[in-house]
Amino acid sequence: MQQDSFPGWHGTTIIGVKKGGSVVVAGDGQVSLGQTVIKGTARKVRRLSPGGHDVVAGFAGSTADAFTLLERLETKLESHPGQLARASVELAKEWRTDKYLQKLEAMLIVTDGDTLLVITGAGDVLEPEHDVTAIGSGGNYALAAARGLMETDFSAEEVARKAMAIAADICVYTNGNLTVEEIAREKAAS
């Protein structure tokens, strides 16, 4: 007996850009099931403020899984206030070793305005080279565009927006409905 395979959820592009004293995380709004757009205005970038310290997180993957990870990240940040890298490593360790969390299918880009990280279910906490990172279906398109735009005089937000526009023109699983969150380093330090 052959089972019908689930076509899979697609349609997320998240980018993080660190430039000129600020960090921007931007995400598109598209969620697709197979070849059908289910929603075009999803909000996949969130601002968290555990213990009064602002953190911006963007997620790619299953929404329920991502919200579970965001809740766990908030708990880790409450345990380690103002220490994004440590909280991220603690989350990655728990994600990698907990039998329930191992089944979660999502990735996160997080920043506190100083540090920019990608957290994966494989236990990785990665600080990107070139101050740019991207995840999701159109992530490689957005990453390539942003890397080229980093040499310009554009701000972090302008780089993120232009890179996402390029990704939306190329990737059928990415749209132009953006959620953009920015943290300036001065704000993060206060």
Q: How many CB atoms lie within 10 A of CB 88?
A: 26
Distances from the Cα of 3 to the Cαs of 6, 84, 99, 182, in angstroms?
9, 43, 25, 45
Residue 184 has which token pair? Answer: 């300036």
Cβ contact 29:175 at 8 Å? yes
For this structure, is 111 an active site residue?
A: no
In which element (H, E) is residue 188 found? Answer: helix 185-189
| Amino acid identity for residue 32 in this structure | S
Q: Sign of the CA dihedral 70, 59, 64, 29?
A: positive
Which residue of the set 12, 13, 111, 133 is catalytic?
Answer: 12
- As annotated, the active-site residues are 12
